[in-house]
Amino acid sequence: MSFLAPFKDKKVTVITTDGRFFSGVLNTFDLSTNLVLTDTSEIILGDINAIQDSEEEEDETQVIPLGVYFIRGDCVVCCGLNDEELESQINWLEVCFVYSFHNEWCDAI
pLDDT in tens, 35-74: 999 999 998 876 655 545 555 555 577 889 999 999 999 9
Mean pLDDT over 1-7 rounds to: 83
Report the largest interatomic distance among the alpha carbons of the chain, rounded to a whole angstrom.
52
Q: What percent of the chain has pLDDT over 70?
A: 69
| List of domains in the chain | 5-108 (2.30.30.100)
- The per-residue pLDDT for 57 is 54
Q: Could you tell me which of 30, 32, 58, 55 has the C-alpha nearest to residue 46?
A: 58
Task: Kindly give, in sequence order, each residue whose CB lies less than 8 Å from that of residue 88, ignoring residues fewer than 6 positions away.
Answer: none
Higher-confidence residue of 27 and 52: namely 27
| pLDDT exceeds 70 at position 106 | no
Q: Is 29 left (phi over 0), alpha (psi -120 to 50) or beta?
A: beta
